[in-house]
């Protein structure tokens, strides 16, 4: 079955077109990611901004053409934190369905977590250490999913994201030390309140998915151009994340854009994202996480195929 999935997130809009076999094997035919910043200003205004919605619509026009070129027989769209939180989110979702022919639905935090876990663990070595926590840092929320042997034991969707907290706290360019400290303190509290102590203590391995994790893996390797084969499975050390955070936070955004391995369009959010990654690893006492290209897109494709 040829499946196309569009993930409309708070910071980026992504596409996956893949052939999914009955046993769950998947062959990726096309994968795209465009920074659209749909969540721009949502934390302050409570609504999706017209210019942010238009950026997504412009991107979806191109994605629709790619879907048709590949002849996908099943299409689906998943909408996450920004749409969930916005007063006009339902109207936006309706336009995505009506104008672009996508069976788009706004996921609850629980549904988002379940799909992220499915995507991240479906092809993971069954002998790999577990229980494992899937860390999915988005623009408006961070999902933690703990499980083993393909089964979810705990999941939480927390109101901490690279766009949400970045807009809330990082006012200076480059960010001031007190801004970074306040952001980290809030995130630390959100993560500790969102995941009970015993759940965090039970975890022995971590898999990090989505843009913040993959970008940090690319920066750590100075990848030019981005190479998903070198990012997928990369072991990202907490010490390396702390070092990258310190280096990125010292640069104004204009200089940050030139960082080897960093997508320039992610320069506005990577500092806040790095704070979230460091705090997530500290919360679960992880010295290293495995970075995975297999995330909610893969999970949604498997689910669409009935797996």
**What local confidence, expressed as pLDDT, does residue 105 receive?**
84
Of 97, 40, 5, the C-alpha closest to 295 is 5
Sheet hosting strand 205-209, strand order edge to edge: 151-158, 142-148, 132-137, 205-209, 288-292, 235-237
**What local confidence, expressed as pLDDT, does residue 194 receive?**
96
**What local confidence, expressed as pLDDT, does residue 22 receive?**
83
Strands 74-79 and 2-8: parallel
Of 153, 150, 157, the C-alpha closest to 135 is 157
Query: pLDDT tens across 177-198, in order?
Result: 999 999 999 999 999 999 999 9
Query: pLDDT tens across 285-295, in order?
Result: 999 999 999 98
**Range 124-292: architecture per CATH:** 2-Layer Sandwich (3.30)
**What local confidence, expressed as pLDDT, does residue 122 receive?**
85
**What local confidence, expressed as pLDDT, does residue 42 receive?**
85
Strands 288-292 and 74-79: unpaired
- Name the H helices within the chain: 42-45, 50-70, 81-85, 89-100, 109-121, 162-169, 177-194, 197-202, 211-221, 228-231, 238-249, 253-256, 270-283, 296-304
Query: pLDDT tens across 38-74, in order?
Result: 988 888 889 999 999 999 999 999 999 999 999 999 9
Does position 99 have pLDDT exceeding 80, yes or no? yes
Averaged pLDDT of the chain? 92
**Same CATH fold, 124-292 and 2-109?**
yes
In angstroms, the CA 105 to CA 83 distance is 10
pLDDT bucket at 156, cuts 50 / 70 / 90: very high
In angstroms, the CA 35 to CA 296 distance is 17
Show me where the domains of the chain are located: 2-109, 124-292
Does position 109 have pLDDT exceeding 80, yes or no? no
Query: pLDDT tens across 234-284, in order?
Result: 999 999 999 999 999 999 999 999 999 999 999 999 999 999 999 999 999
- Report the Cα 148 to chain-centroid distance in Å: 21
- CATH 3.30.420.40 is right for the domain spanning 2-109: yes
In angstroms, the CA 28 to CA 174 distance is 38
* 139 contacts 82 by C-beta, under 8 angstroms: yes
In angstroms, the CA 109 to CA 141 distance is 9
Taking the model in full, what pTM does it have? 0.89
In angstroms, the CA 192 to CA 187 distance is 9
* 11 contacts 81 by C-beta, under 8 angstroms: no
- Report the Cα 129 to chain-centroid distance in Å: 23
24, β-bridge pairs: none
In angstroms, the CA 293 to CA 74 distance is 22
**What local confidence, expressed as pLDDT, does residue 125 receive?**
80
């Amino acid at each position: 079955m040829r499946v196309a999935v569009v993930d409309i997130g708070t910071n980026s809009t992504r596409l996956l077109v893949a052939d999914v076999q009955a046993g769950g094997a998947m062959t990726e035919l096309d994968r795209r990611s465009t920074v659209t910043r749909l969540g721009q200003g949502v934390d302050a205004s409570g609504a999706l901004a017209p210019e942010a919605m238009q950026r997504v619509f412009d991107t979806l026009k191109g994605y629709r053409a790619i879907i048709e070129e590949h002849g996908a027989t099943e299409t689906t769209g998943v909408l996450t934190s920004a749409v969930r939180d916005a007063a006009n989110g339902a109207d936006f979702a309706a336009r995505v369905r009506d104008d672009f022919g996508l069976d788009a639905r706004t996921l609850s935090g629980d549904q988002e977590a379940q799909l992220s876990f499915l995507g991240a663990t479906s092809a993971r070595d069954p002998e790999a250490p577990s229980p494992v926590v899937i860390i999915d840092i988005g623009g408006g929320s961070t999902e933690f999913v703990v499980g083993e042997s393909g089964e979810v034991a705990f999941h939480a969707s927390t109101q901490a994201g690279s766009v949400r907290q970045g807009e809330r706290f990082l006012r200076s360019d480059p960010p001031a030390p007190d801004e970074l400290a306040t952001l980290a303190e809030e995130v630390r509290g959100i993560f500790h309140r969102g995941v009970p102590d015993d759940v965090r203590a039970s975890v022995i391995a971590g898999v990090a998915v989505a843009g913040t994790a993959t970008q940090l893996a690319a920066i750590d390797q100075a990848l030019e151009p981005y190479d998903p084969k070198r990012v997928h499975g990369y072991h990202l050390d907490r010490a390396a994340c702390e070092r990258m955070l310190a280096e990125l936070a010292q640069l104004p955004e204009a200089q940050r854009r030139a960082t080897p391995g960093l997508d320039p369009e992610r320069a506005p959010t990577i500092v806040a994202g790095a704070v979230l990654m460091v705090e997530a690893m500290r919360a679960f006492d992880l010295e290293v996480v495995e970075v995975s290209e297999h995330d909610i897109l893969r999970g949604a494709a498997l689910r669409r195929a009935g797996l």
